[in-house]
Amino acid sequence: MTRNLGWMAAEFAHFPELSRENIEKLVVLEGFENFDAARQRGKGVIFLTGHMSAWELAPFAQALYGHPLSFLARPIDNDRVNRLIDSYRCLSGNRPIEKNNSARAILRALHNGGTVGVLADQNTSVEEGVFADFFGIPAATTTGLVRMARHTGAAVVPGFLFWDDAMRKYRLRFEPAVAMRRTEDEAGDIRENTARCNKVIENYVRAHPEQWLWVHKRWKNRPPGEPSLYPE
Protein backbone atom coordinates (compact mmCIF):
# COMPACT_ATOMS: atom_id res chain seq x y z
CA MET A 1 0.00 0.00 0.00
CA THR A 2 2.85 2.37 0.85
CA ARG A 3 4.45 1.69 -2.53
CA ASN A 4 1.20 2.37 -4.37
CA LEU A 5 0.64 5.60 -2.46
CA GLY A 6 4.09 6.74 -3.56
CA TRP A 7 3.36 5.71 -7.13
CA MET A 8 0.16 7.76 -7.07
CA ALA A 9 2.09 10.88 -6.05
CA ALA A 10 4.71 10.25 -8.73
CA GLU A 11 2.10 9.68 -11.45
CA PHE A 12 0.34 12.88 -10.40
CA ALA A 13 3.56 14.87 -10.77
CA HIS A 14 3.85 13.68 -14.39
CA PHE A 15 0.32 14.71 -15.45
CA PRO A 16 1.62 17.62 -17.60
CA GLU A 17 3.48 15.07 -19.75
CA LEU A 18 0.40 12.96 -20.52
CA SER A 19 -1.69 13.41 -23.66
CA ARG A 20 -4.11 11.54 -25.90
CA GLU A 21 -1.13 10.44 -27.98
CA ASN A 22 0.71 8.70 -25.13
CA ILE A 23 -1.89 7.76 -22.50
CA GLU A 24 -2.25 4.22 -23.89
CA LYS A 25 1.36 3.53 -22.88
CA LEU A 26 0.32 3.97 -19.25
CA VAL A 27 -3.44 3.25 -18.97
CA VAL A 28 -5.63 0.84 -20.93
CA LEU A 29 -9.43 0.91 -20.88
CA GLU A 30 -11.49 -2.20 -20.22
CA GLY A 31 -15.25 -2.60 -20.28
CA PHE A 32 -15.73 0.78 -21.90
CA GLU A 33 -18.91 -0.55 -23.48
CA ASN A 34 -20.45 -0.50 -19.98
CA PHE A 35 -19.73 3.19 -19.56
CA ASP A 36 -20.88 3.96 -23.10
CA ALA A 37 -24.17 2.09 -22.65
CA ALA A 38 -24.90 4.10 -19.51
CA ARG A 39 -23.98 7.36 -21.25
CA GLN A 40 -26.31 6.57 -24.15
CA ARG A 41 -29.26 6.57 -21.73
CA GLY A 42 -28.95 10.35 -21.73
CA LYS A 43 -29.51 10.96 -18.03
CA GLY A 44 -25.91 11.34 -17.00
CA VAL A 45 -23.48 8.92 -15.38
CA ILE A 46 -22.25 8.74 -11.81
CA PHE A 47 -18.75 7.26 -11.79
CA LEU A 48 -18.52 5.11 -8.63
CA THR A 49 -14.92 4.68 -7.55
CA GLY A 50 -12.59 4.67 -4.57
CA HIS A 51 -9.05 5.32 -3.40
CA MET A 52 -7.59 2.46 -5.41
CA SER A 53 -4.07 2.42 -6.87
CA ALA A 54 -3.17 5.78 -8.49
CA TRP A 55 -6.76 6.99 -8.12
CA GLU A 56 -6.07 10.52 -9.38
CA LEU A 57 -5.00 8.99 -12.69
CA ALA A 58 -8.38 7.32 -13.36
CA PRO A 59 -10.44 10.44 -14.20
CA PHE A 60 -7.42 12.09 -15.81
CA ALA A 61 -6.98 9.18 -18.22
CA GLN A 62 -10.71 8.95 -18.87
CA ALA A 63 -10.71 12.59 -19.99
CA LEU A 64 -7.70 12.06 -22.26
CA TYR A 65 -9.57 9.18 -23.87
CA GLY A 66 -12.26 11.72 -24.80
CA HIS A 67 -14.71 11.60 -21.88
CA PRO A 68 -14.05 14.39 -19.37
CA LEU A 69 -16.02 14.52 -16.15
CA SER A 70 -16.76 16.59 -13.09
CA PHE A 71 -15.34 15.27 -9.84
CA LEU A 72 -16.12 15.89 -6.19
CA ALA A 73 -13.17 17.12 -4.15
CA ARG A 74 -12.72 18.66 -0.73
CA PRO A 75 -10.55 21.80 -0.99
CA ILE A 76 -7.10 21.56 0.55
CA ASP A 77 -6.63 24.00 3.44
CA ASN A 78 -3.56 25.64 1.89
CA ASP A 79 -4.93 27.78 -0.96
CA ARG A 80 -1.71 27.76 -2.98
CA VAL A 81 -1.45 23.98 -2.81
CA ASN A 82 -5.15 23.65 -3.63
CA ARG A 83 -4.77 25.79 -6.77
CA LEU A 84 -1.74 23.77 -7.86
CA ILE A 85 -3.49 20.43 -7.34
CA ASP A 86 -6.63 21.59 -9.16
CA SER A 87 -4.58 22.92 -12.07
CA TYR A 88 -3.02 19.48 -12.55
CA ARG A 89 -6.32 17.66 -12.18
CA CYS A 90 -7.93 19.84 -14.84
CA LEU A 91 -5.18 19.60 -17.48
CA SER A 92 -7.09 16.88 -19.33
CA GLY A 93 -10.42 18.76 -19.33
CA ASN A 94 -12.00 17.67 -16.05
CA ARG A 95 -13.77 20.09 -13.71
CA PRO A 96 -13.80 20.10 -9.89
CA ILE A 97 -16.95 20.38 -7.79
CA GLU A 98 -16.44 21.50 -4.20
CA LYS A 99 -17.65 18.63 -2.05
CA ASN A 100 -19.32 20.79 0.59
CA ASN A 101 -21.44 22.73 -1.95
CA SER A 102 -22.03 20.11 -4.58
CA ALA A 103 -25.74 19.36 -5.00
CA ARG A 104 -26.66 22.04 -7.54
CA ALA A 105 -23.49 21.53 -9.63
CA ILE A 106 -23.99 17.74 -9.71
CA LEU A 107 -27.62 18.08 -10.78
CA ARG A 108 -26.63 20.50 -13.54
CA ALA A 109 -23.90 18.18 -14.83
CA LEU A 110 -26.17 15.13 -14.85
CA HIS A 111 -29.05 17.07 -16.43
CA ASN A 112 -26.70 17.93 -19.29
CA GLY A 113 -25.82 14.26 -19.76
CA GLY A 114 -22.40 14.61 -18.14
CA THR A 115 -20.41 12.36 -15.84
CA VAL A 116 -19.71 12.98 -12.16
CA GLY A 117 -16.99 11.06 -10.34
CA VAL A 118 -17.49 10.14 -6.68
CA LEU A 119 -14.93 8.54 -4.35
CA ALA A 120 -17.33 6.63 -2.12
CA ASP A 121 -15.05 4.50 0.05
CA GLN A 122 -14.42 6.75 3.05
CA ASN A 123 -16.07 7.35 6.40
CA THR A 124 -18.84 9.96 6.39
CA SER A 125 -20.79 11.75 9.10
CA VAL A 126 -23.77 9.98 10.63
CA GLU A 127 -26.01 12.86 9.51
CA GLU A 128 -24.98 12.55 5.85
CA GLY A 129 -25.08 8.79 5.44
CA VAL A 130 -26.29 5.41 6.60
CA PHE A 131 -24.55 2.43 8.14
CA ALA A 132 -24.02 -0.18 5.44
CA ASP A 133 -21.93 -3.34 5.62
CA PHE A 134 -18.37 -3.10 4.39
CA PHE A 135 -16.39 -6.31 4.93
CA GLY A 136 -19.17 -7.42 7.26
CA ILE A 137 -18.89 -4.39 9.54
CA PRO A 138 -21.38 -1.49 9.47
CA ALA A 139 -19.63 1.55 7.97
CA ALA A 140 -20.92 5.11 7.83
CA THR A 141 -21.41 5.55 4.08
CA THR A 142 -22.48 8.53 2.01
CA THR A 143 -25.97 8.32 0.54
CA GLY A 144 -25.51 11.32 -1.74
CA LEU A 145 -24.56 9.17 -4.70
CA VAL A 146 -27.63 6.93 -4.64
CA ARG A 147 -29.95 9.83 -3.80
CA MET A 148 -28.72 11.71 -6.87
CA ALA A 149 -29.16 8.59 -8.99
CA ARG A 150 -32.71 8.17 -7.74
CA HIS A 151 -33.57 11.82 -8.33
CA THR A 152 -32.08 12.10 -11.82
CA GLY A 153 -32.22 8.59 -13.24
CA ALA A 154 -28.45 8.68 -13.80
CA ALA A 155 -26.67 5.34 -14.13
CA VAL A 156 -24.15 4.40 -11.43
CA VAL A 157 -21.16 2.88 -13.24
CA PRO A 158 -18.28 1.41 -11.20
CA GLY A 159 -14.87 2.35 -12.55
CA PHE A 160 -11.60 1.40 -10.87
CA LEU A 161 -7.96 1.83 -11.75
CA PHE A 162 -5.52 -0.90 -10.77
CA TRP A 163 -1.94 -1.77 -11.62
CA ASP A 164 -1.33 -4.90 -13.68
CA ASP A 165 2.20 -6.04 -12.96
CA ALA A 166 2.27 -8.45 -15.93
CA MET A 167 1.29 -5.71 -18.40
CA ARG A 168 3.33 -3.03 -16.61
CA LYS A 169 0.36 -0.73 -17.10
CA TYR A 170 -2.71 0.47 -15.24
CA ARG A 171 -6.10 -0.90 -16.17
CA LEU A 172 -9.13 1.38 -15.96
CA ARG A 173 -12.01 -1.07 -15.74
CA PHE A 174 -15.68 -0.09 -16.13
CA GLU A 175 -18.28 -2.52 -14.78
CA PRO A 176 -21.98 -2.73 -15.75
CA ALA A 177 -24.16 -0.14 -14.05
CA VAL A 178 -25.19 -1.04 -10.51
CA ALA A 179 -28.82 -2.14 -10.39
CA MET A 180 -30.68 0.43 -8.29
CA ARG A 181 -33.75 -0.77 -6.37
CA ARG A 182 -36.67 1.64 -6.70
CA THR A 183 -39.84 1.04 -4.70
CA GLU A 184 -42.24 3.16 -2.67
CA ASP A 185 -39.98 2.63 0.36
CA GLU A 186 -37.46 5.38 -0.41
CA ALA A 187 -35.53 5.06 2.85
CA GLY A 188 -35.24 1.30 2.40
CA ASP A 189 -34.11 1.76 -1.20
CA ILE A 190 -31.42 4.22 -0.11
CA ARG A 191 -30.03 1.75 2.42
CA GLU A 192 -30.13 -1.16 -0.01
CA ASN A 193 -28.57 0.73 -2.91
CA THR A 194 -25.84 2.14 -0.67
CA ALA A 195 -25.05 -1.41 0.47
CA ARG A 196 -24.84 -2.52 -3.17
CA CYS A 197 -22.31 0.22 -3.93
CA ASN A 198 -20.26 -0.78 -0.87
CA LYS A 199 -20.22 -4.36 -2.12
CA VAL A 200 -18.82 -3.29 -5.48
CA ILE A 201 -15.99 -1.41 -3.76
CA GLU A 202 -15.37 -4.30 -1.37
CA ASN A 203 -14.97 -6.72 -4.29
CA TYR A 204 -12.24 -4.56 -5.80
CA VAL A 205 -10.45 -4.22 -2.48
CA ARG A 206 -10.54 -8.00 -2.07
CA ALA A 207 -9.04 -8.41 -5.54
CA HIS A 208 -6.31 -5.80 -5.00
CA PRO A 209 -5.88 -5.26 -1.23
CA GLU A 210 -2.37 -3.84 -1.55
CA GLN A 211 -3.65 -1.07 -3.83
CA TRP A 212 -6.36 0.32 -1.52
CA LEU A 213 -5.79 3.26 0.85
CA TRP A 214 -5.89 1.26 4.08
CA VAL A 215 -4.65 4.09 6.34
CA HIS A 216 -8.02 5.86 6.24
CA LYS A 217 -10.21 5.05 9.27
CA ARG A 218 -13.10 3.64 7.24
CA TRP A 219 -15.05 2.50 10.32
CA LYS A 220 -14.39 5.60 12.46
CA ASN A 221 -18.06 6.48 13.11
CA ARG A 222 -20.02 3.75 14.83
CA PRO A 223 -23.72 2.98 15.19
CA PRO A 224 -25.18 4.22 18.51
CA GLY A 225 -23.91 2.19 21.44
CA GLU A 226 -21.11 0.44 19.56
CA PRO A 227 -17.51 0.95 20.77
CA SER A 228 -14.75 2.44 18.63
CA LEU A 229 -12.78 0.03 16.48
CA TYR A 230 -9.64 2.16 16.73
CA PRO A 231 -7.40 2.87 19.72
CA GLU A 232 -7.42 6.48 20.90
pLDDT at 103: 87
Residue 140 has pLDDT above 90, yes or no: yes
Contacts of 229 (CB under 8 A, 6+ apart): 137, 219, 220, 222
In this prediction, residue 102 carries a pLDDT of 82
- Burial-class residue 124 by CB neighbours within 10 Å (0-12, 13-18, 19+): middle
Residue 72: pLDDT band (50, 70, 90) is confident
At residue 225, does pLDDT exceed 90? yes
pLDDT at site 154: 97
Q: Do 132 and 221 touch, CB atoms closer than 8 A? A: no
Structure confidence at residue 125 (pLDDT): 93
Average pLDDT over residues 11-15: 97
Q: Answer yes or no: is pLDDT of 232 > 80.
A: no
pTM value is: 0.94
118 band by pLDDT with thresholds 50, 70 and 90: very high
For 181-211, letters b (16+ CB in 10 Å) and e give eeeeeeeebbbbbbbbbbebbbebbeebeeb
